[in-house]
Structure 1
Amino acid sequence: MKKQFENNRQLILYFIKGSKTYFILAILFAAAASLFDLINPRIISFTVDSVIGSKKASLPAFFNGFIQGVGGITYLKSHIYLIGVFVVIVAIIGALFRYLFRLFNSKGAEKFVKVMRDGLFEHIVHLPFAWFTHNPTGDIIQRCTSDVETIKRFLSEQLTQMLRIIIMIVLSLYFMSTISIKMMLAAAIFIPIIVTYSLFFHKRIGATFEKADEEEGVLSSIAQENLTGVRVVRAFGRERYERQRFEKQNTIYTKAFMKLDILITWFWSIGDGISGLQLLTIAALGAYFGVKGDITAGDYIAFVSYNTMLVWPIRSLGRVISDMSRASVSIDRIRYIMNSEEEEDDKDALNVDMHGDIVFDHVSFRYNDDGPLVLDDISFAIEKGTTLGILGGTGSGKSTLMYLLDHLYEVSSGHIYINGVDIKHINRDYLRKNIGLVLQEPYLFSKSIEENIAIGIHSATMDDVEEASKIASLNEAINHFKNGYKTSVGERGVTLSGGQKQRTAIAQMVIRKTPIMIFDDSLSAVDSETDMKIRRALEENIHDATVILISHRITTLMQADQIIVLNKGRIAEVGNHQQLRSQKGIYRKICDIQNIGEDNS
């Protein structure tokens, strides 16, 4: 079973393992840059008080040694430009460390976000089919893009600077304390005030951001639906309705973010006010203590410089606390995906011979635990190499039967056997590779026709593609295209007609030559003549495969070895065409409606 993340910290540590070294180096260089930033005010203070003035210098042993090495304070008085050179050197070294900090921080952030995206995608493609029915595509995309970027931005712009901020605060307060304990305490008293109001806004910003993020997910879903279903929107003249629907949701989303912006505006305005008050307080106290003679002019300049440096990290610390609420929401949304259980096979899952009988043994199914039964006590058998036809009204459970056979859903009760083995004990990947399924609504990728046909088998040759397209009666249509098999089908096959898309999907399955082939109403968009040509080609080229035909068209099913009729999730009738045609049941009524006479049998 895949690792479950109990909290956000575990999730971040899981994804950060590939970029940990980058972030450690970034923090070390950030600390070094902070240290060098704090050296220059002491140099300026020393210059004003001891080089220009006459105050006895009290410097660390390292600096005293350096000063004596260049000739002492007397030499510096006549060569003051050396101090300027030293200031420039310190600034250049600090700038170099800041560059290295940003370099490794950026590399770490990009590595982190790549690992997160790869991990998310890998996990999502292994989630159960049922999971996607409960989670809109737009919301999933929102989590994998916007939320990932929010986490990346927090980690790279705020969290990695946390230690730098703390180091900057500690060092600034230390250097300030060497100048004036009283003024240092006056500056430090504003730190808990900023942290307190940041914590006050933290929860409120988080809740508001979560609401805005969810509304953005809904908006993304609407946009995604309309862009992929643009032909349906146009065909039914729904442009105005969909525009109003989008604008309504966009208004809701905008209001949610405006509420967030108001909170953030209050947060920053209060912060600006407190920071301004701190600067004013230090300026006033510095002037007061300067007049009293408690501090020198050089110390005052240095203290004001340190206090100015202190304002930024204190404000940044408040921002980290505030932005943490936004990042926490995004991490929770990513953690929801990562904690969703993947499909898992039994430890001793089998790869059985799929050329065998298929048996549905008292199978019942409901989509939700408290939902109605979609299939109710279904039992039937399909002999290997034969053809089964399935007929039933909309919502009778025809497609659901095939989804269960492909193990896309778990049966609520009962068993499905292939060659005597319950499909629960068959390796899912192996099972699905050996079951060809043409969906009721075929999905084609934005690739060429050739690539779409060969998408299920990497070793397919052009001859294989052409053979499959002939069986699917697609080759004639392809020959009329300017670029032939290289013709791009567009997103979701938008440039092809409904019948061409269905035939491409049939060729896509036929090329795989699977032991079990399922046609889920996949001939509904082709005319009767093409329907017949495809069925004949299948009979001639597929000899040992077990075929399941789902259709509303009697002519598609009438040659099947066995036909079952579903009605409201239960089997209403079983038999071949002649047997069912002779009974006065659902099948007979549909035959009469479709004008299928005895001569057709």
Structure 2
Amino acid sequence: MNRMKKIIELTKGSRLLYAIAIISIGIASFIAMVEPMVIRVTIDSIIGNKPLNVPKPVENLVQVLGGRETLGRNLWICSLILVSLTCVRGIFLYLKGKLSAQAAENMARNIRVRLYDHIQKLPYEYHIKSESGDLIQRCTSDVDTVRKFFALQMVEIGRAVFIVTFAIVMMSSLNKKMTIIAMCIVPIIFIFSLIFFNKIQHNFIKADEQEGVLTSVLRENLTGVRVVKAFGRQNFEIEKYEKENKKYKDSIYKIIYLMSNYWGISDFLCTIQIGLVLMSGIYFTVNGDISLGTLVVFITYETMLLWPVRQLGRILSDMGKMTVSMGRIWEILHVPQETETRKALKPEIKGEICFENVTFGYEEDTPVIKNVSFKVNKGETVAVVGPTGSGKSSLVHLLLRLYDYNKGSIKIDGVELMDIERKWIRSKIGMVLQEAFLYSRTIKDNIKISKLDADDKEVKTAASMAAVHGVITSFERGYDTIVGENGVTLSGGQRQRVSIARTLIKNLPILIFDDSLSAVDAETDKIIRQKLKEKSKGVTTFIISHRISTVMDADKIIVLNRGMIEAVGSHKELINKDGVYKRIWEIQNSVDNLENENVACNE
């Protein structure tokens, strides 16, 4: 019942098309049942001398056409009737195919839109934990499997029901004994099809899941191709892919093996059924129990009847695939979207931020930020430093409400952060990540992503602030240069600077630089910071970095260690205190001095 509800929900917006398609296949099936009856009347009553035992409308039609004698002398009229019926049936079959395909495409489009929309609104935590290759497979291959079922097999179920119903009624009207013989093996084939369906469905699940694994391996390899090349890992990657590909091949071979068994056994049962009808029909015809025309009708009906029953296995197998794919799609659609925890306010954001005893952990029993308290005034530049894993990135993730804190309070301009709408606060905070992601578009398009209506002057101003304008203009096509997938044609530092420009083009009250200057040289780092200081007066800025030279000019430096604040102060204050900051400064200072000595010696 639950599956049926899901199927009905999926057909929303396409139900009328499906209804007309099913009506069309019903009419086509009825005409298909009438055609053998025309042959029977022709053999028994037009060519032969049997009484014209037909419904009154058909008898009137015979009289209009000139009667039995006229039709006997002009058999082409009977042929023309058969051809006309076939043409009409073809029209309804065409309608069935067109409408069902159109309905299935509409439904597939709606599913894709619904999936994409839902995925965009899922929590950040879900995306972190999910395999992107598996998500891609569910949004493409699984949707296509559902589409194919609704385009091809959905109306075939209606066709099978119509043909079996019409065949039983018409055969019963001719001879009940022959009808029983014609139907005796059909229930066996039906039960065998159900057993086959239950047997093969598990294999469909395994094959679908393995296809997702294969897609993930391929995506990872293509995304990390530079790492693969750099470390000479081609053979390892090929072996890994071949291993997963073999598992996928084995799962498909298992399905093929089961389906070949089904088709072989069902063919054997269908052949027995046709043989029984043929032998029994000949026996009854010789004894005069049925006419030759009736025998032809029964043989024709039997072949027409066995085809949809035999096709039941294919319908059920495709239904198994569809059910598995639909289940995987619904797994995504059933994941709760991000919700507003409280009031969803949209206050004016100026940039004053206050942390009070904030505790947060990705796992409830394992906090990564412990009892953190500090205040940032509007327009201040605050640096956050500390060892790897000390909670620096987690701290700013809380500001964007990618995660919600477990305990304590974060207030922005006096308003509790959890009371502010997620989308609103994210629209007021610009964040530049260490791993800059660029789209396979022009540099201009990448910079304008955060502000689509920006003009060329704004784009160039933002690029100048990010110290990347000169680099861009040195390219042959300038700002119209295609950067390739994930900005692969640019260096790491160039990607970071384009990412910074993308954030700066939108004048925001709060900026966060999460180690986003790590790939640029010290001189470029200094230029960017100076331009940011000139441009971003009144803008609250967070800078996360491991490089002391990047954070030393900050108004306030927060030192995190093991999720707790170890010290807060200016650069001068912190280098005179024992602790993490002083140790980092001493190490980096000694390295810089050593490099300067080496340069002097070389000169």
Match of 2:363 in 1: 368
Superposed, 1:200-215 pairs within 5 Å as: 200-215=195-210
CA contact (8 A) 2:196 2:313 kept: no
Cα distance, 1:522 vs structure 2: 0.3
Alpha-carbon separation, structure 2, partners of 1:35 and 1:586: 85
The reply to whether residue 152 of structure 1 matches residue 147 of structure 2 is yes
Q: TM-score, normalised by structure 2?
A: 0.96
Cα distance, 1:66 vs structure 2: 0.7
CA contact (8 A) 1:23 1:105 kept: yes
Q: TM-score, normalised by structure 1?
A: 0.96
The alignment partner of 1:594 has SS state of helix
Alpha-carbon separation, structure 2, partners of 1:365 and 1:297: 86
| Aligned residue identity for 2:43 | V
Distance 1:529 1:108, change over 3 A: same
CA contact (8 A) 1:359 1:416 kept: yes
User: Which stretches of structure 1, 4 residues or longer, exceed 6 Å deviation after superposition?
Assistant: 596-599
Cα distance, 1:232 vs structure 2: 1.5
Cα distance, 1:16 vs structure 2: 1.4
Alpha-carbon separation, structure 1, partners of 2:113 and 2:326: 16
CA contact (8 A) 2:351 2:539 kept: no
Alpha-carbon separation, structure 2, partners of 1:361 and 1:218: 44
| Aligned residue identity for 1:398 | K
CA contact (8 A) 1:199 1:322 kept: no
Deviations 1:362-411 (A, max 9, x none): 222222345x3222222222111101101112222111111111011122
2:73 to 78, 87, 90: 78
Match of 1:557 in 2: 551
Superposed, 1:561-576 pairs within 5 Å as: 561-576=555-570
| Aligned residue identity for 2:461 | E
Match of 2:390 in 1: 396
The alignment partner of 2:194 has SS state of helix
2:496 to 496, 502, 506: 502
Structure 1 unaligned blocks of 5 or more: 1-5
Distance 1:73 1:456, change over 3 A: same
Alpha-carbon separation, structure 2, partners of 1:512 and 1:112: 38
Say what the alpha-carbon RMSD is for the aligned residues: 1.6
| Aligned residue identity for 2:496 | Q
Cα distance, 1:413 vs structure 2: 2.4
Match of 1:481 in 2: 475
CA contact (8 A) 2:342 2:418 kept: no
Cα distance, 1:312 vs structure 2: 1.0
Match of 2:508 in 1: 514
Structure 2 unaligned blocks of 5 or more: 594-603
Match of 1:99 in 2: 94
Cα distance, 1:346 vs structure 2: 4.9
1:426 to 407, 420, 423: 420
The reply to whether residue 8 of structure 1 matches residue 27 of structure 2 is no
Cα distance, 1:412 vs structure 2: 2.6
CA contact (8 A) 1:591 1:597 kept: no
CA contact (8 A) 1:399 1:520 kept: yes
Match of 2:597 in 1: none
CA contact (8 A) 2:398 2:404 kept: yes
Match of 1:245 in 2: 240
Cα distance, 1:233 vs structure 2: 1.3
Alpha-carbon separation, structure 1, partners of 2:2 and 2:444: 46
The reply to whether residue 236 of structure 1 matches residue 224 of structure 2 is no
Cα distance, 1:256 vs structure 2: 1.4
Superposed, 1:199-348 pairs within 5 Å as: 199-346=194-341, 348=343
2:451 to 457, 464, 470: 457
Match of 2:596 in 1: none
Count of aligned pairs: 593
Cα distance, 1:178 vs structure 2: 2.0
Identity %: 40
Cα distance, 1:597 vs structure 2: 11
Alpha-carbon separation, structure 1, partners of 2:375 and 2:433: 22
| Aligned residue identity for 1:377 | N
| Aligned residue identity for 1:96 | I
Alpha-carbon separation, structure 1, partners of 2:592 and 2:517: 23
Distance 1:275 1:191, change over 3 A: same
CA contact (8 A) 2:397 2:403 kept: yes
Superposed, 1:128-207 pairs within 5 Å as: 128-207=123-202
